[in-house]
Amino acid sequence: MKQSKDPFEAAFEESPPESPVETEAEAEAERQNPRSSSSVVAQPQKVSKNKEKEKEKEKEKEEEEEEEEDNMDVELAKLPSSGDPHKMAKMQAILSQFTEDQMSRYESFRRAGFQKANMKRLLASITGTQKISVPITIVVSGIAKLFVGEVAETARIVMKERKESGPIRPCHLREAYRRLKLEGKVFKRSASRLFR
């Protein structure tokens, strides 16, 4: 796990300590800040490439947990603005070394998202027929997707602790959810506090 952390830590400074596993946290952070302030971008590419190769070998053994690290925005690189050439180049380098399996998982990760219509309907039913603006839908979908990621990653950690393998089972999800609640990531502090 440590080795796989390095290229990203080296290349991208932000790594919020909020995720259960540091590697996942970094991955999420990178996902969020591919273009943001890059104070540590001055890494020579050779160094990162070596680390990427080590990382790749590790990956083949522990694909599930480390998939989340490969969340660089290759698609965003095709967008005109906000492109940090260093990060984009590193991203390309990393992505070019993916196995098919990793690539397909990464693709799923990038493309999966909540349907706007469904989310709108859900939000409207929660708020009670308020009109939901598009930015709110976008924001909530984004938040929800990251939340799914947190739960799924925590569930994988739980499985690793219990030394189980295979698809994620509901018991893992429940344990993961419980842990996230303890960490305070799921605000269960209900609003009813206002009325007490």
Partner 1 sequence: MSNSSTGTGTSSKQRAASSQPSETSSKRKRGVFQKELQHMMYGFGDDPNPLPESVALMEDIVVEYVTELVHKAQDIGSQRGKLSVEDFLYLIRKDLPKLNRCTELLSMNEELKQARKVFESEEFD
Tell me if 99 contacts partner 1 by CB under 8 A. no
Query: Per CB under 8 A, does 44 bind partner 1?
Result: no
* Of 88, 56, 89, the residue nearest 73 (C-alpha): 88
Minimum distance from residue 193 beta carbon to partner 1 (Å): 9
Q: Is 75 in the site for partner 1 (CB under 8 A)?
A: no
In 3D space, the residue among 22, 1, 46, 105 whose CA is nearest the CA of residue 30 turns out to be 22
Stretch that binds partner 1, among 1-9, 11-19, 38-46, 83-91 (CB under 8 A): 11-19
Distance (Å) of CA 176 to CA 67, 169, 194: 18, 11, 28
> Hey, what are 12's tokens?
């991208």
Please identify which residue in 32, 38, 43, 97 interacts with partner 1, judged by CB under 8 A.
Answer: 32
Q: Which stretch binds partner 1 (CB under 8 A): 4-12, 33-41, 49-57, 85-93?
A: 33-41
For tokens 């180049």, what's the residue?
Answer: 89
Q: Angle CA(56)–CA(58)–CA(62) in degrees, nearest 5?
A: 115
> Is residue 40 near partner 1 by the rule CB under 8 A?
no
**Which one of 61, 111, 163, 196 is in contact with partner 1 (CB under 8 A)?**
111
Nearer to partner 1, 92 or 184 (CB): 184
Q: Which helix (H) or strand (E) holds 191?
A: none
For 169-178, the CB contacts below 8 A with 24+ separation are: 176/151, 176/152, 177/151
> x/- binding map, residues 171-190, to partner 1, per CB under 8 A?
-xxx--x-------xxxx-x
